[in-house]
Chains A and B, each alone.
Chain A
Amino acid sequence: MPSRRDILKATGGLVLATGGSWLASHAHAAVPNPPGLAPLPAGAVASGDLEAIAGKLPLIKRSWRPPNYETPLSYFSEELTPNRAFFVRYHLAGIPAEIAADKWTLKIGGEAAATPFELSFDQLKHDFPAVEVVAVNQCSGNRRGLFEPHVAGVEWGVGAMGNARWKGARLKDVLAKAGLKKEALEIALNGADGPIMPATPDFQKSIPVWKALDENTLVAYEMNGEPLPHWNGFPARIVVPGWTGTYWMKHIVSINAISKPFDNFWVKSAYRIPVGKFPLIDHFTSQMTDVNEPITEMVVNSLITNIDTGQQVPVDRPFEVKGIAWDGGRGIADVEISADGGRSWRSATLGTDYGRFSFRRFSQAFTPTERGALIVMARATNRAGATQTMELILNPAGYHHNVVQRIAINAV
């Protein structure tokens, strides 16, 4: 039985202190709005300061508990996002303290698995071929805070995403050992984190069997050559290249093959997009309704990383527009840059290709010939021909924001 003192320590005196007044907040360094997009809510700017949680560099705090921290823009000038700068996203505050890898167990089973079994961390690493994939992990709600009109939720700017080299066992290899039955329809995923209130639905997800069997879908135990950071799912997480982060279950402890659509709030009610509004290829058909469907692959998108609103550039000298582009796994075909507000476009030079699930760098030089205001834009197109939108596609939960940036600068 924990003592009152233990509880106070564990909660920071938070709830028990409600009788008194809440202490004054601290001074904070304001993080500017991302350039070229609609601004965050004023309260999100006021609340979104740089803070470092254990094992992480200072990140943009979106909420303390559960912890939601965004990667600052400066880390996106390289393809791979450093582990210590990688964004943090939790739905519920029941997060285990550091998990001991040697005590961790992964259970694989479900009614559509003939031979359920358990894996230790060592077995996960040594009993299956290790494969690597570079893939973007992006929160479905990345850029939600930039919706106009604003949408309730975690008010993310542009940094609820990161790109890493993931290493792990193929989920298909793990499932093969469990003897997947013909009737298997979805693979249900659960992590060690959970709710505070018993009545709150635990964060669990499912993916269609075909996506689970994709050779790129992993049970990952390494990220950029290191163990996963605690806040990114140590000791192992599911990696679903191409699809939004909601399916990338952290602290994975159970994988269940099921023959009926998974009945869970986070699949049935949350993470849904209106049917027919987005130009997507993948559909989670066993969970579709007439009006909405689960979010699946990421929409094609880009981010200019080296230009601030109001920046001054000299006339008659070239300046470079640089950034990254990514999509839901078709691969980036082209990034066009405009320096005249979209009247004319030129294809940028693309950087090293780390594979179709990765950030792809781009750059394009421009030379302003006269003084005055310029509008810089970048528009990515993927190999399926999908491109970024000029007008925000409204949807109730604020997903899939891929509006082309319009950054106003001055040639002087």
Chain B
Amino acid sequence: MKALLLMLTLAATLAAGIVLAQERRLELKDGPGRAKVEANCASCHSLDYIQANSPFMNRQVWDAEVTKMIKAFGAPIAEADAKEIVDYLSNNYGAP
């Protein structure tokens, strides 16, 4: 299902003729949940948004961001995945 969704997203991306402005792969910090972040967040935006928005957001603020992506921007992220993503972001890119 996830693979299908990904393929659909990519097909839509291609149909829109997306220009990817020299995006490079950003090595996110290693830690539990990283793969979930890469698989979900990177569908719509590059991962440098995470690095640039660090390290000043605490868990509550990261949670609000992930919730905004799901509720306001329609990101199809499962509840369990969302929790894992918030854990990863606040542990690795959160306020010290």
Q: Does B4 have its Cβ within 8 Å of any Cβ on chain A?
A: no
Interface size on A, residues (CB 8 A): 57
Residues A47 and B48 in contact, CB atoms below 8 Å apart: yes
Residues B44 and A43 in contact, CB atoms below 8 Å apart: no
Q: Does A150 have its Cβ within 8 Å of any Cβ on chain B?
A: yes
Report the separation of the CA atoms of residues A31 and B17 in the bound assembly, to the nearest whole angstrom.
31
Q: How far is the CB of A42 from chain B (nearest CB, A)?
A: 6
Tally A-B pairs: CB < 8 A: 164
Report the separation of the CA atoms of residues A95 and B93 in the bound assembly, to the nearest whole angstrom.
29
Report the separation of the CA atoms of residues A195 and B75 in the bound assembly, to the nearest whole angstrom.
11
Residues B27 and A43 in contact, CB atoms below 8 Å apart: no
Extra pairs beyond A10-B13, A94-B16 (20, CB < 8 Å): A2-B11, A7-B14, A15-B9, A15-B10, A15-B39, A22-B26, A22-B27, A43-B51, A43-B52, A43-B55, A54-B19, A64-B46, A65-B20, A93-B18, A96-B16, A97-B18, A154-B49, A196-B16, A199-B74, A201-B73
Q: How far is the CB of A77 from chain B (nearest CB, A)?
A: 27
Report the separation of the CA atoms of residues A93 and B12 in the bound assembly, to the nearest whole angstrom.
11
Residues A62 and B56 in contact, CB atoms below 8 Å apart: no
Residues B56 and A197 in contact, CB atoms below 8 Å apart: no
Residues A196 and B27 in contact, CB atoms below 8 Å apart: no
Interface residues on B, range: 35 or more
In the assembled complex, 5 residue pairs joining A and B whose CB atoms fall closer than 8 Å, in A order, are A7-B7, A12-B23, A41-B55, A46-B51, A197-B76
Chain A residues at the B interface, C-beta cutoff of 8 Å: 2, 6-7, 10-12, 14-18, 21-26, 41-44, 46-48, 51, 53-54, 61-67, 69, 92-97, 149-150, 152-155, 194-201, 265, 269
Asked, given contacts A198-B74, A201-B73, whether A47 binds B61 with beta carbons under 8 Å apart, the answer is no
Q: How far is the CB of B35 from chain A (nearest CB, A)?
A: 7
Report the separation of the CA atoms of residues A65 and B24 in the bound assembly, to the nearest whole angstrom.
10
Report the separation of the CA atoms of residues A334 and B12 in the bound assembly, to the nearest whole angstrom.
51
Pick the contact of B54: A11, A25, A43 (CB < 8 A).
A43
Report the separation of the CA atoms of residues A154 and B49 in the bound assembly, to the nearest whole angstrom.
7
Using CB atoms, name the residue of chain A closest to B23.
A64
Pick the contact of A18: B27, B38, B45, B56 (CB < 8 A).
B38
